[in-house]
Amino acid sequence: MNNYKTTVVTPWHNPIQFKLFTDAWNIGHSCPNFLPIHDIGRMGCARTKNLGIELAIEQGAEIVIILDDDCLPTQELFAVNNEAPLQPFIDAHVASLTTPLAIPLFAQVTEPRSRGTPYEQLTVDLAPAASMGYWQDVGDYDACCQLVHGARTPMEFQRGGIFNQYFAMSGMNIAFWATDWPWFKFVDVPRFDDIWMGFVFQKYAYHHRRCISLNGPNVRHSRQSNVWENLKQEAEHLEDNETLWQKIFYFGHPEAGVLSRPALIQYLAEVSPMKIKPMIVDLL
């Protein structure tokens, strides 16, 4: 158990899938750490998650965990608590989020090492701003890779911490500090809602010398959404995705004392194609 008020936010719209989810996690009608958000009007993944996050914070959450309704407990979680696997899942994310990580920042550029290269002190300890967990069974593939490799082709995962490098931060199984809201606000663009949020959030975290922990608990991703629908949605924004992280990186001066979120969002709206401007402005 941990001493942080933690809330697991799960968006859902299909009653059958939601029952499979709650049965798998053995979640009863009253679970103090669980906040399901029913997307009744089909407003979409991003808006549903943002609503859930805001409600969780209003109810006093210090740590918010996003867990999609097709992410089920693994055997490792059952081994810790067979009756209530959600608790070790929460504890693992909290441990990942609250444990500083040694980030390698001093590069050894010769072999053997050249004069002046430290023998031991090659890292700095940084606090995580978020904790991301990975997925067993069905990987978080884009449509093209799913068609080439197959949805259940195993992925290899990088663990530890990441700092000053941008990466595709999945929002299916992830935790963050409530005090960092609204930097963690999902972007209302299908298939890129978490990825583009992640680019913005990484800019924020790295500016404040914080890392992203990749040591969160794994879940069993039980299904892949329709690959042909995904392909159509992704194709519309693949080119935008190639350069958005670069635009975010170039914003502002690296030595600036303050990173303004409104200024960053306004800048992104100005440099983004017309078709995604409304989604970017909606972050304000």
Note the pLDDT tens digit of each residue in 90-124.
Answer: 999 999 999 999 999 999 999 999 999 999 999 99
Mean pLDDT score of the chain: 94
Closest CA to 178 of 7, 11, 38, 36: 7
Closest CA to 271 of 238, 252, 248: 248
Instruction: Inform me whether the pLDDT recorded for 225 exceeds 90.
Output: no
DSSP state of 241: H
Instruction: Inform me whether the pLDDT recorded for 177 exceeds 70.
Output: yes
User: pTM of the prediction?
Assistant: 0.95
Q: Tell me: the pLDDT tens digits for 80-90? A: 999 999 999 99
Q: How far apart are CA 126 and CA 129, in angstroms?
A: 9
pLDDT value for 194: 98
Other beta carbons within 10 angstroms of residue 200's beta carbon come to 24
Q: How far apart are CA 34 and CA 120, in angstroms?
A: 44
Number of H helices, E strands in the chain: 10, 12
